[in-house]
Chain A
Amino acid sequence: MDESKFNQWINKVLTTEEDEISCSDCFDRVSDYAEAEIVGAEMDAALQQVKQHIHQCQVCIEEYELLRDLIQIEDGHVSSLDK
C-alpha cells in the first residue's frame, strides 16, 4: 500500500458515518444512482446513502464505475467500447 492509498483510507476513516447501508442495499439501488448521477438529478436520502457507501466500499465503487461507463457508452456519450 503506497502513501497515497494510505491517505485515502484515512480519509475514509474520518468520513465514516454511524449508519451506512450494506453492499446488498447498495446493489439494489446502484442502477438508479448511476442514472441519476449521469444526468445530474437531485438525489433523495436513499441515493445519498448509496453515494456514501460507494465512497467507502472498494468493490461497490468498482462495479458502479463499470456500470456508469457502460451505460454512457450504450447511450452514445462515450464513443468506444474500448474505453
Chain B
Amino acid sequence: MILVRAAAYTFGRNLGDLEAFGPGQIEQLAEDCAQEALLAILNNLAKFRGESKFTTWAYKFAINISLTMARRERWKGVSLDLLEEQSDQDGWPSEYLPKADPEGSAIRAEVRRILTEVIQNELTEKQRLVLKLMVFDEVPMDVVVQHLNTNRNAVYKLLHDARSKLKLSLQSHGIGAAETIDLFSAQG
C-alpha cells in the first residue's frame, strides 16, 4: 500500500526520532500512520483538485502524520515547562566567531543587539515563548503545538508576527537592505 511506503520512507529518513523502537515496531507504526492517513484522505477528498497526481496528493497526508508522530516520540520525555523557565537567550550562539570582514561583524553585532531588545520589550509573552522554544531551543512545531494545546496555524501566526516586529525594528535602524540579507544567507 502506497501510504505505508510513504510512512516508512518518512521514518527511514528520521530514524533518530525513533531510537526507542525496533524494526518490527517501526513497521507497525508505519501501518498505523498509513491507516490514519487513509482516514484523513477520505475526509479531505473534496479538496483534491487534480492539479497534482493523486498519489502525490495522498502521500502528503502520510508524511504529515508520520513526521508529526516521529517528532513527538523523540521529544516525549522532555519537559517544555523546564525549557520555558530558562532565559530567552539560553539557546543563542554564545559568541560570534571573529570574521575577516570587520564591517560585516559590526552589522551582525548590531543586529543581535536590536533583536535582543525587541524580543525583551516588544514581543507579547506568547510570541516570545514560541520564538524561544522553536527558534532558540529548536523544539519542533508539532511538539510546541501539543504543549500549548493549539494548532500549527496559531503557532505559525505567533512566529510570523514576532518576525514582522523584529524585521520592522531592524529596518528602522537601517538594516534590511539586500546586502544585509546576503550577509546572513552567506553564513547559512
Give me the interface of A with B, judged by CB distance under 8 Å.
Answer: 1-16, 18, 20, 22-24, 27-28, 30-32, 34-35, 56-59, 62-63, 66-67, 69-71, 73-74, 81-82
Select from chain A the residue with minimum beta-carbon distance to B144: A59
Select from chain B the residue with minimum beta-carbon distance to A3: B93
**Within the complex, what minimum Cβ distance (angstroms) separates B46 from chain A?**
12
Instruction: Classify the interface of chain B: helix, strand, loop or mixed.
Output: helix
Interface residue? B21 (CB, 8 A): no
B60 touches A67 (CB 8 A): yes
User: Given the interface contacts A3-B187, A70-B9, does A22 sit within 8 Å of B156 by beta carbon?
Assistant: yes
B188 touches A4 (CB 8 A): yes
By a CB distance below 8 angstroms, the chain B residues around A67 are 56, 59-60, 63
Q: How far apart sit A3 and B95, CA to CA, in the bound complex (Å)?
A: 8
Interface residue? B166 (CB, 8 A): yes
Q: Which of B59, B97, B136, B141 contacts A71, CB < 8 Å? A: B59
B10 touches A59 (CB 8 A): no
By a CB distance below 8 angstroms, the chain B residues around A63 are 60, 63-64, 67
**Within the complex, what minimum Cβ distance (angstroms) separates B148 from chain A?**
14
B63 touches A59 (CB 8 A): no
By a CB distance below 8 angstroms, the chain A residues around B152 are 22-24, 59
Q: How far apart sit A22 and B152, CA to CA, in the bound complex (Å)?
A: 8
User: Given the interface contacts A14-B167, A15-B181, A66-B63, does A1 sit within 8 Å of B135 by beta carbon?
Assistant: yes
